Amino acid sequence: MSGRFRLLISEAWRSLGANISTTVAATLTVLIGMFLLGLFIALGTWTLSWSNHVKNELVVKVNFKQSATPAQENALARKLNQSSLVKPDGVKFVSKQQGWEYMKKHYPQMAENVPSNPLGDRLDVTPVRAEEVDALYNSIVTPTKPPGVDTVTDGKQISHRILRVAHAIEIVFTLATLVLIVASVLLISNTIRLSIFSRRREIEVMKLVGATNWFVRGPFMLEGLLTGIAGALLSIFFLIIGKAVALPAILPHLSTDPEVHAWPFPVVALILLAMGLGLGAVGSGVTIRRFLRV
């Protein structure tokens, strides 16, 4: 059995060499498709993790007027603590001095020419679920804003923008990956078809001398699998290079929160290897079924 398997591999390798230009084109297409798929998995899982992290940090900010009294602030805080939309211990009081110190530290350009603290006290209110931030906002401002309240803001618009961008990236990468996967299957199929055509006489002789269907079809199946796995391995190689070269320059601009992360690279590599094998199997299987009548 091992001798037969070695013979199948040598036949597949010889056939790949005989159609070298088509083989290279098919391998490169698989490489590009798998490379983009790897980028999509890494970027998509990181973006999903980031958006979930952002959603978990969504709060409604209730900004009081400077003229608001402690009684007005405490009354609203008690009311919000009793709301079913508010997370337990989800009402945090931020004094105007704390808000001013935060602004001077994180947004110094906004505070440098301001002679005195213009802020009022604030309540940061965290909803039970991020999706309920709109309902929480409406419960505060409807029918009118509570006494002493200046403005009420939430992060829903920012979240919507983040999710829209993430969704747009997902659509673009998905469409590009699907197109390249289809192109990979077609090119692998074309490679196998050319191989079948160039060896049609040889196949006839093999059948006349009693070769089994498995022995005739085996080299063509291996051709597709070798093409797919070669493209996947090359894509993993280039992703490793890209990770080593580009990631250090990108990381400082990304979130440093440990809760925000993409899937581990070994998992991505295994997915790409499985996809490469799958593309090779589908491409060769479809072609053999259609063109190889044995």
Q: Single out the residue in 127, 154, 181 at which a domain terminates.
A: 154
Q: Which residues pair with 41 in a beta bridge?
A: none
The pLDDT assigned to 49 comes to 77
Q: Are residues 195 and 116 in the same domain?
A: no
What's the average model confidence in pLDDT over 30-51? 80
pLDDT at position 56, please?
Answer: 66
- The pLDDT score that the predictor gives to residue 7 is 59
Looking at the structure, do residues 33 and 117 belong to the same domain, yes or no? no
Res. 18 pLDDT band, cuts 50 70 90: low
Residue 154 and residue 60 in contact, taking contact as beta carbons nearer than 8 Å: yes
What's the confidence (pLDDT) of residue 77? 93
Q: Are residues 123 and 257 in the same domain?
A: no
Tell me which of 185 and 100 has the higher pLDDT: 100
Peptide linkage before 127 cis (omega within 30 of 0): no
Mean pLDDT of all residues in 134-156: 87
Considering the domain architecture, whether residues 143 and 210 belong to the same structural domain is answered as no
**266 shares a domain with 149:** no
The verdict on 76 and 202 lying in the same domain is: no
- Of the pLDDT bands very low, low, confident and very high (cuts 50, 70, 90), residue 46 is confident
pLDDT of residue 79: 93
Residue ending a domain, choose from 117, 134, 154: 154
User: Which of 138, 117, 116, 118 shows the shortest CA–CA distance to 127?
Assistant: 138
The residue among 154, 173, 203 that closes a domain is 154
Question: In terms of domains, do 91 and 203 share one?
Answer: no
For the entire predicted model, the pTM comes to: 0.63
Number of domains forming the structure of the chain: 2
pLDDT at 234: 92
Lowest mean pLDDT of 86-95, 98-107, 203-212, name the range.
203-212
At residue 68 the predicted structure's pLDDT band, cuts being 50, 70 and 90, is very high
CATH code, 125: 3.30.70.3040
Task: Please tell me which residue, 249 or 91, carries the higher pLDDT value.
Answer: 91
Mean pLDDT of 227-238: 89
Q: Is the pLDDT of residue 294 over 60?
A: no
Residue 148, pLDDT score: 93
Nearest residue to 98 via CA among 75, 120, 83: 120
* 250/187 same-domain check: yes
Shared-domain flag, residues 128 and 197: no
Do 165 and 281 lie in a common domain?
yes
Most confident of 108-117, 215-224, 232-241: 232-241
pLDDT the model gives residue 182: 80
Which has more pLDDT, 94 or 190?
94
Comparing 5 with 190, which gets the higher pLDDT?
190
**Which residues constitute the domain of residue 274?**
2-54+160-291
pLDDT-above-70 percentage for the chain: 79
Sorting pLDDT into bands at 50, 70 and 90, what band is 166?
low
Q: What is the largest CA-CA distance in the chain?
A: 101
Q: Are residues 83 and 101 in the same domain?
A: yes
- Give yes or no: residues 145 and 181 share one domain: no
